[in-house]
Amino acid sequence: MLSPMRLNNTLTNRVEDLVPVEEGRVRIYGCGPTVYRYVHVGNLRTFLLSDVLRRALRLEGYDVTLVMNITDVGHMTDEVSDAGRDRMELSVEDEGLSPAEIAQKYTQAYLEDTGAIGIEPADVMPKATDHIPEMLELTAGLLERGHAYEVNGTVYFDVHSFPGYGKLSGNTLDKLRTGHREIEVDPNKRHPEDFALWKRAGANRLMRWDSSWGPGFPGWHIECSAMSMKYLGERFDIHTGGNDLKFPHHEDEIAQSEGVVGHQVVSIWVHTGFLNMSGVKMSKSRKNVVRIGDLVEELGIDPLAFRYLCFQTRYRSEMDLSLEALKAANHTLRRLRARMADWAGATRDGLGAAARDLDGRFRAAVADDLDLPAAVTIVSEAVSADVTDGDRYALLASWDGVLGLDLEREAREGVEVPEEVRALVRERDDARARKDFARSDALREEIRALGFEVRDGAGGTEVRPGT
């Protein structure tokens, strides 16, 4: 019997036991990047959710399949009204590249940035442009079932045909009807709240495909419905994404998917909270968007320090990112790796009772709606607990399968010391040889300020990351 996982289900607004559709196997769909620009650290926090969830389930023995899409068409500048333009085509204008080149450039950047913070690639990463036939088939099915209608080459979803519309986000038809009074409405719609499944292509549009309704392109929402059900089936376990996707994207996904198959498709919806930069929501308009590479370049931190910092806030809560907190996380991460290197040679011969208790508590915290703040507190306890060094190493190495912090890096590779630090160590050794202990102490402080410490022993001077 596999250990249960409990997750906060946005659909029901309560924490529920995960009961997989297929025993022992969990199928997850995560909304992936729209590849017209670089992802920022707020996006990375959202993508991190699917990665940690998959790792946690694997720790308990589940067979996990994660699908994460690549949106390379149809993501408009305005998803509520029909006045928007496709972001991919705006990037084509800005950069002078073809749509395929834009998609390739930013997909590769996404893979590099996610890899830097330890996010493993999804098992399947389908591109929207490779699945136009599936989107056309789904759209045709919604027309046949009376959930959609076509006007002049554009196919709209009739939200009034789906009684449960608004059950995820709380944006019921009554609320939407009030909001639409304030904006200009597409006159081709039956109701202002309806949304496009397939849009007619204008004469100058680059990305277009033939359909039975004429040349056009898919709406953003239809893409995820088509790809999630293609790879995970008509019933699957978990759908992840950021809070900003609950409406309209995920609300419309539910209407499309359930409308075409006639039953609930996703068991549990899991959403991450927003990431703020020093108390301010991160957004392009505020010009406070930060890439992971910016933080590494500016602070000289390990990118995995950002991953560690994310674990100190519950995934569904808002998180504040400050440079001070990031530096502290980097220091803690280096200290943990240094301790792991210290323990690497200790005998490991099965966990003792105290270590088994720590392991049980760590696993319980992770299974309790991914309570990573509690889990990293248990990691800190293990460092000073009354257990053997061998048990300590075994515990952290096992837990790192979930945490993904590469805690065994130094034990595996040895310490990488920058040449700047090595030069100061050589100068300090010379000062000690001359018995200039004042200079030796001053150089020790310089070395410490760079994040390292020196230990003097019979075998010479040892350099380690600071603790």
Contact 234/24 with Cβ under 8 angstroms?
A: no
Regarding whether 442 and 312 lie in a shared domain, the answer is no
For residue 151, give the 3-state DSSP assignment: strand
Cis bond leading into 373, ω under 30°? no
Regarding whether 366 and 458 lie in a shared domain, the answer is no
Domain boundary among 241, 272, 303: 272
Average pLDDT over residues 367-387: 96
Sequence-distant (6+) residues with CB within 8 A of 209 are: 132, 136, 215, 216, 217
Does the structure show a pLDDT above 50 at 79? Answer: no
Q: Give the pLDDT confidence of 158-192 residue by residue, as tens digits.
A: 999 999 999 999 987 877 765 444 456 788 999 99
**Which of 456 and 140 is assigned the larger pLDDT?**
140
Q: Please state whether beta strands 195-200 and 154-157 pair in parallel, antiparallel, or not at all (unpaired).
A: antiparallel
| pLDDT-wise least confident of 124-133, 286-295, 324-333 | 286-295
Regarding whether 379 and 329 lie in a shared domain, the answer is yes
Separation CA 97–CA 105 (nearest Å): 10
Regarding whether 346 and 238 lie in a shared domain, the answer is no
Asked if residue 1 belongs to a domain, the reply is no
Regarding whether 337 and 195 lie in a shared domain, the answer is no
Furthest-apart CA atoms within the chain: distance in Å: 90
Average pLDDT over residues 384-399: 94
Regarding whether 157 and 138 lie in a shared domain, the answer is yes
Asked if residue 121 belongs to a domain, the reply is yes
| pLDDT-wise least confident of 88-97, 134-143, 340-349, 397-406 | 88-97
pLDDT of residue 48: 98
Regarding whether 241 and 140 lie in a shared domain, the answer is yes
Contact 243/275 with Cβ under 8 angstroms?
A: no
Measured CA to CA in angstroms, residue 194 lies from 121, 148, 158, 161, 190 at distances of 35, 9, 5, 10, 7
Asked if residue 232 belongs to a domain, the reply is yes
For residue 272, give the 3-state DSSP assignment: strand
Residues forming beta bridges with residue 455, ordered by sequence position: 462
Separation CA 245–CA 10 (nearest Å): 12
Q: Give the pLDDT confidence of 408-455 residue by residue, as tens digits.
A: 998 887 766 777 887 888 888 888 878 888 888 888 888 888 877 777
pLDDT of residue 284: 63
* The amino acid at 423: A
Regarding whether 142 and 81 lie in a shared domain, the answer is yes
Q: Give the pLDDT confidence of 12-61 residue by residue, as tens digits.
A: 999 999 999 999 999 999 999 999 889 999 999 999 999 999 999 999 99
Does the structure show a pLDDT above 70 at 82? Answer: no
Instruction: Please state the pTM of the whole predicted model.
Output: 0.86
Domain boundary among 243, 272, 301: 272
Does the structure show a pLDDT above 90 at 114? Answer: yes
Regarding whether 230 and 149 lie in a shared domain, the answer is yes
Q: Please state whether beta strands 236-242 and 6-9 pair in parallel, antiparallel, or not at all (unpaired).
A: unpaired
pLDDT of residue 214: 96
Domain boundary among 272, 296, 318: 272
Regarding whether 237 and 164 lie in a shared domain, the answer is yes
- Sheet containing strand 148-151, edge to edge, reads 148-151, 154-157, 195-200, 216-218
Sequence-distant (6+) residues with CB within 8 A of 249 are: 31, 79, 220, 221, 224, 241
Does the structure show a pLDDT above 60 at 321? Answer: yes
Residues in the chain: 467
Separation CA 353–CA 216 (nearest Å): 64
Asked if residue 351 belongs to a domain, the reply is yes
* Count of beta carbons in the 10 Å neighbourhood of residue 75: 21
Q: Give the pLDDT confidence of 188-225 residue by residue, as tens digits.
A: 999 999 999 999 988 778 889 999 999 999 998 999 99
Q: Please state whether beta strands 25-30 and 236-242 pair in parallel, antiparallel, or not at all (unpaired).
A: parallel
Q: Give the pLDDT confidence of 266-276 residue by residue, as tens digits.
A: 999 999 999 98
| pLDDT-wise least confident of 42-56, 145-159, 290-304 | 290-304
Does the structure show a pLDDT above 70 at 281? Answer: no
What's the domain count of the chain? 3
Contact 158/194 with Cβ under 8 angstroms?
A: yes
Regarding whether 425 and 300 lie in a shared domain, the answer is no
**Which of 364 and 173 is assigned the larger pLDDT?**
364
Asked if residue 147 belongs to a domain, the reply is yes
Q: Which domain holds residue 449?
A: 419-465
Give CA torsion, residues 279, 283, 288, 290, to 10 deg: 100
Regarding whether 430 and 409 lie in a shared domain, the answer is no
Average pLDDT over residues 297-310: 92
Average pLDDT over residues 255-270: 98
pLDDT of residue 181: 43
Structure tokens at 404: 């993904």
Asked if residue 306 belongs to a domain, the reply is yes
Separation CA 210–CA 427 (nearest Å): 72
CATH of the domain at 180: 3.40.50.620
For residue 97, give the 3-state DSSP assignment: coil
Separation CA 259–CA 264 (nearest Å): 9
Separation CA 73–CA 223 (nearest Å): 9
